[in-house]
Chains A and B, each alone.
Chain A
Amino acid sequence: MTRWLPHLFVLFLASVPLWMTDNYILHILITTGIFIIAAMSLNLLLGYTGQLSLGHVAFFGIGAYASALLSLGFEAHIAPGLLVKVLPKPVWFAMLGGIASAAVCGYAIGKLAFRVRGAYFVIVSISFAEVVRLVALNWVELTQGPMALNNIPALKLGAAGLELSFLKKPMVYTLVLAVAVLSYVLIRRLVQSRAGRAMIALRENESLATSVGIDVTAYLVLATVVASAIAGAAGALYAHYVRIVDPDIFLFIYTVTMVIMVVTGGKGTLAGPIVGGVLFGLLPESLRAMAMPPEVQWIAYGVLMVLVVYFLPRGIVPAINERWGAGEATASPLRNLVVAAKARS
């Protein structure tokens, strides 16, 4: 029965636009969903490889800007006398461009930054995000700087007459859910494979990992590329949903929000960022709905976060797994394989 719970959960989420008519609630679910996708991508780095990327919002922002710029078209001098002109592209193509741009940046940063570990990696990642923010703020010709990129088109698929428009919230919600499910599946495949074991081996014991032939740097770069691409996808969704992007998208608070979602939910677990994301994504709006003064809302938010971290230091999902004995470490597919292997031997 527990095997089908995730499928039932997804079916329930997919049914939401059928019975939820309140656009404000759908808006909250959409933005929460986008941040959950970003948090899942951060979890791949923080939870599975053990590297804290405090500049993760950079990949989210790069995905948003690249997708917005490709869909709007742009002209910009990338070197003295070298003008690059790009005509507006279809939104689906622009979104793929946003994902690819974030992945390429992830590859470059991964190659550079993973020569250092721990605190040095944290510093490199924060610095990268700040540099990207300053570029977005000051390269006015390309990004409009603080004036923001406006009128970003919404996603449309198909041809005239058979056009699927993602302008309305129920459709955007469905798109975000689809991207979230796809991201979850990709991350699950990765972490339950040779690559995932290599990433976990690095987190657990780097010297031992290299002694059995694991090229830890290669797997760290792979994790960064996949995490960046997924964060870029979240950024592209965000850009074509809110239809305006400014340099504030790179603010540190967004990375902090992702970290809170991952840590409270349970880093290094597949469900952790989803649980933490639902809790801390919906909480501010729930508190607002209670008509609390803003300062009380944020105090309540902080107190809940401290309580979760204090009483469940490994996060909500590991605590649930411990309580009901459904640890992901011995998750069912592997356990089934072992039982089968024992039976054969």
Chain B
Amino acid sequence: MPEKPGKLMPALYGGVIMGVISGVPILSFINCFCCAGIMLGGFMAVFFYKKDLKESSPPLSNADGLALGALAGLVGAVVTTVLTALMHLVFGMAMGGGMQRLHDMGLGDRIPPETMRMIEGIMSDKGLLGIAFIFHLVIDPLFGLIGGLIGYAVFKSKVSPVMPPPPPVQH
């Protein structure tokens, strides 16, 4: 009997979609609609898996949807955290550079202390990344599972109804 294709690559693709949506600032607003971005990652993992299935392979099952959704969630958590860290670094450095320029121009004193504290907080909040990672490690597989199950419901092959045997012909 032919085996099912591997789940790792479809889960990876789904997880990357999930991570990019959650980690990129403006895109992450999609998650404001009930974690739609996270669910989309699980859903897409099932879509990619379904594309790899051959006609001779066993059909897509709910277990595949669950496993793909959870795996995509784990990958998504890592990708989200890495992207968030990168964003932190890029924006932190940009803010830091901007602050330095303001100081060089002699305008540093005009920045309100609350704003200064906020900017310094953004630049040094490494602990928040750890909390964000734990958060995504819990939430992403959970909503990924839901996305995987929705994906199964959408992509499952239609079962052809079993025709009853014809009645015996009576002479």
Co-assembled chains A and B: no
A residues with CB within 8 A of B: none
Q: Using a CB–CB distance below 8 Å, which chain B residues touch chain A?
A: none
